[in-house]
């Protein structure tokens, strides 16, 4: 039996995002050979992030998909095609697109008391880093939808619904922690758990009676997927290799994954594929260190380290997501930080200043002309770099914008990696003005999908130093509809969100969570909400006004246009 790969398109096609063309239903459950595992596919062949393990008296779900609608579709598929109750759910990793359908599955199947299993450090993925820039990471992911992103913003594509559900709220919390080598039995299946992350935040499932292993994101169908564009964590490769070896040391005849990974069958093939995968990771890591020992900087590593022709990556060689060799830059920053070692780069000029001075030397018009000529000569990358330099020097130059847009579209058309191809297309649309990244962010990051604490935390990153310099104020926040209490402490230019009200506060505001979101996200101002009676202030009103005056607007978001100092910050 053959299993369709995600994004089964040729180099000239434009792959789509989840739910882009059709609704999810009907889902098709496809059995993995003679194992208990079922893969769930859409009508167009995409695999959901959910594997169903069928036992004698029920099923175990490894992942529950992306959002409530996918969870509903998964539940209906189980009812229609397998007709057994859910006995347990395993979270392979903490990602909303892998485990946010749980509540829908449980509700649709009217299941109660179902244990939800996860790795010991499952919550660690939901780190302050991820939360602080969650919307930026989500926008970068959205840019991988290409032309469909514009249709979503115009409300003409079902992709709009998928993007709008990118942060559907916290998944159902795990109830049971599982550890490496621990065994449990659910639905009549003997399950052994194996760590699939060096951080201890993800877990795989091994069925020894069936020689079947399930793995999450840590093993992809292509090494090129190791480093995506949205903002992955930096990591040390040798720890990752140990994880892959731990899976490879098992007696595995069937390897199944939840992300881009078609099943692999046969112990020899599985072992060889994992060995190749492990060795490819180590090769890039070790060669990066080799050249770093000679003083190579990140740019040089991209040129010096490449996968040699004799390494046969046919089993995992299809580019789908990221750039394998880009791992070199991660290794550099992990080991050596930001500095390249070149003294001239210790205190570099701002990019826009440097671009302006280069444009004066070369001539801004000539830069654009050379960019156009390079594109005509088949040098799209050089054309893009010249056009970007011209645009950095003159952000309002229509010629530079058109040159950059053309170069990016050409790069996208030639890219074999479908998601990178779409990123090029999206970038070209940002340059042309066909899409606005702030509108994309607003579609993705909605306060109604966030907790009150998460909404308040976003204020930390909007403090205006020149306004807040003399402030020392504590404002209490009472949520009238949820009963939550917080305090916002602004001192030494730093805002802290306290989980409860201290004994002494300068003022207190009371409002519903909806109005809190409207206030924080700039949909309504404080004075209007007070007049409406939506916000009640107890204590000195001036303190609240001074505090709120130190909160800047949500920053403008752009990648293809020059980004200088944030609005409201003072020049040194």
Give the model's pLDDT for residue 96: 72
**DSSP H/E element including 150:** helix 147-153
SS3 call for 92:
coil
Give the model's pLDDT for residue 2: 27
Give the model's pLDDT for residue 162: 65
Give the model's pLDDT for residue 541: 93
**DSSP H/E element including 402:** helix 398-414
Give the model's pLDDT for residue 4: 29
Angle at Cα 104 formed by Cα 103 and Cα 107, nearest 5°?
A: 85
- What are residue 504's DSSP bridge partners? none
SS3 call for 433:
coil
Contact assessment for residue 368 and residue 390, using Cβ atoms and an 8 Å cutoff: yes
Stated pTM of the model = 0.82
Taking each helix axis from N to C end, the angle separating 364-376 and 351-362, rounded to the nearest 10 degrees, works out to: 90
**DSSP H/E element including 520:** helix 513-520
Give the model's pLDDT for residue 572: 29
Contact assessment for residue 546 and residue 380, using Cβ atoms and an 8 Å cutoff: no
Q: Which domains, from first to last, does the chain contain? A: 349-414 (no CATH), 447-549 (3.30.1050.10)
3-state secondary structure 234-246: CCCHHHHHHHHHH
pLDDT tens-place string over residues 465-499: 999 998 999 999 999 999 999 999 999 999 999 98
Give the model's pLDDT for residue 5: 29
SS3 call for 463:
strand
Q: From first to last of its 572 residues, what are the pLDDT tens digits of the chain?
A: 222 223 222 223 333 333 333 445 678 899 999 999 999 988 767 778 899 999 999 999 999 988 788 899 999 999 999 999 999 999 988 777 788 889 999 999 998 899 999 999 887 754 545 567 778 888 888 898 888 888 888 887 767 766 765 554 557 889 999 998 999 999 999 999 998 776 778 889 999 999 999 987 656 555 544 556 776 665 556 556 666 777 878 899 999 886 656 788 999 888 887 887 778 778 888 999 999 999 999 999 988 988 776 665 555 555 555 566 777 888 898 899 999 999 999 999 988 899 999 999 998 899 999 999 999 999 999 999 999 999 999 998 999 999 999 999 999 999 877 788 899 999 999 999 999 998 898 888 878 878 899 899 999 999 999 999 989 999 999 999 999 999 999 999 999 999 888 889 999 999 999 999 999 998 999 999 999 999 999 999 999 999 999 999 988 888 887 665 444 433 32
Count, in order, helices (H) and strands (E) of the chain.
Answer: 22, 18
Contact assessment for residue 172 and residue 116, using Cβ atoms and an 8 Å cutoff: yes
pLDDT tens-place string over residues 203-231: 899 999 999 999 876 565 555 445 567 76
What's the CA gap between 116 and 87, in Å, rounded? 9
Residue 93's closest CA among 207, 274, 209, 243? 243
What's the CA gap between 212 and 348, in Å, rounded? 53
Contact assessment for residue 258 and residue 98, using Cβ atoms and an 8 Å cutoff: yes
Give the model's pLDDT for residue 248: 77
φ and ψ at residue 215, rounded to 5 degrees: -130, 145
Contact assessment for residue 459 and residue 498, using Cβ atoms and an 8 Å cutoff: no
Long-range CB pairs of 176-184, under 8 A, 24+ apart, other chains included: 176/115, 176/116, 176/117, 176/118, 177/117, 177/118, 177/119, 177/120, 177/122, 178/90, 178/117, 178/118, 178/119, 178/120, 178/203, 179/120, 180/246, 184/88, 184/117
Angle at Cα 389 formed by Cα 304 and Cα 441, nearest 5°?
A: 90
Give the model's pLDDT for residue 313: 56
Residues listed for the chain: 572
Give the model's pLDDT for residue 6: 31
């Amino acid at each position: 039996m053959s299993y369709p790969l995600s994004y089964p398109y040729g180099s000239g096609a434009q792959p789509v995002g989840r739910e882009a063309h059709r609704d999810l239903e009907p889902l098709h459950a496809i059995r993995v050979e003679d194992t208990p595992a079922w893969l769930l596919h859409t009508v167009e062949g995409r695999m959901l992030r959910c594997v169903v393990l069928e036992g004698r008296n029920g099923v175990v779900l490894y992942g529950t998909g992306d959002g409530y609608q996918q969870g509903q579709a998964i539940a209906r598929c189980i009812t229609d095609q397998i007709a057994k109750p859910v006995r347990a759910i395993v979270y392979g990793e903490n990602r909303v697109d892998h485990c946010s359908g749980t509540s829908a599955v449980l509700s649709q199947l009217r299941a109660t008391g179902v244990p939800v299993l996860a790795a010991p450090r499952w919550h660690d993925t939901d780190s302050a880093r991820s939360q602080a820039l969650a919307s930026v990471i989500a926008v970068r992911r959205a840019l991988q939808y290409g032309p469909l992103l514009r249709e979503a913003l115009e409300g003409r594509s079902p992709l709009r619904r998928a993007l709008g559900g990118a942060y559907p709220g916290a998944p159902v919390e795990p109830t049971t922690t599982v550890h490496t080598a621990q065994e449990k039995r659910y639905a009549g299946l003997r399950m052994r758990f194996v760590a699939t992350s060096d951080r201890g935040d993800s877990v795989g499932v091994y069925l020894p009676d069936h020689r079947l292993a399930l793995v999450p994101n840590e093993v992809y169908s292509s090494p090129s997927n190791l480093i995506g564009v949205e903002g992955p964590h930096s990591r040390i490769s040798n720890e990752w290799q140990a994880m892959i070896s731990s899976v490879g040391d098992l007696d595995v005849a069937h390897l199944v994954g939840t992300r881009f990974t078609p099943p692999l069958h046969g112990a020899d093939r599985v072992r060889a594929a994992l060995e190749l995968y492990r060795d490819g990771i180590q090769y890039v890591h070790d060669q990066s260190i080799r050249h770093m020992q000679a003083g190579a900087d990140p740019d040089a590593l991209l040129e010096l380290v490449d996968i040699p022709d004799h390494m046969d990556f046919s089993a995992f060689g299809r580019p789908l997501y990221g750039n394998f060799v880009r791992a070199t830059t991660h290794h550099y920053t992990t080991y050596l930080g930001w500095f390249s070692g070149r003294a001239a780069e210790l205190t570099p000029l701002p990019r826009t200043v440097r671009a302006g001075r280069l444009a004066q030397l070369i001539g801004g018009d000539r830069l654009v002309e050379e960019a156009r000529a390079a594109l005509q000569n088949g040098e799209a990358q050089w054309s893009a770099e010249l056009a970007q330099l011209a645009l950095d020097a003159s952000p309002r130059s229509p010629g530079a914008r058109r040159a950059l847009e053309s170069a990016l579209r050409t790069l996208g058309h030639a890219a074999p990696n479908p998601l990178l191809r779409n990123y090029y297309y999206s970038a070209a649309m940002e340059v042309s003005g066909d899409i606005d990244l702030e509108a994309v962010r607003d579609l993705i990051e909605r306060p109604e999908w966030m907790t009150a604490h998460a909404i308040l935390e976003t204020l930390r990153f909007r403090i205006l130093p020149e306004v807040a310099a003399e402030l020392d104020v504590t404002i209490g926040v009472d949520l009238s509809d949820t009963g939550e209490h917080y305090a916002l402490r602004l001192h030494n230019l730093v805002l802290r969100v306290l989980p409860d009200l201290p004994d002494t506060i300068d003022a207190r505001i009371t409002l519903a969570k909806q109005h809190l979101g409207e206030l924080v996200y700039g949909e309504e101002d404080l004075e209007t909400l007070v007049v409406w009676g939506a916000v009640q202030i107890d204590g000195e009103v001036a303190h609240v006004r001074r505090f709120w005056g130190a909160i800047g607007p949500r920053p403008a978001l752009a990648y293809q246009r020059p980004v200088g100092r944030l609005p409201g910050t003072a020049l040194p």
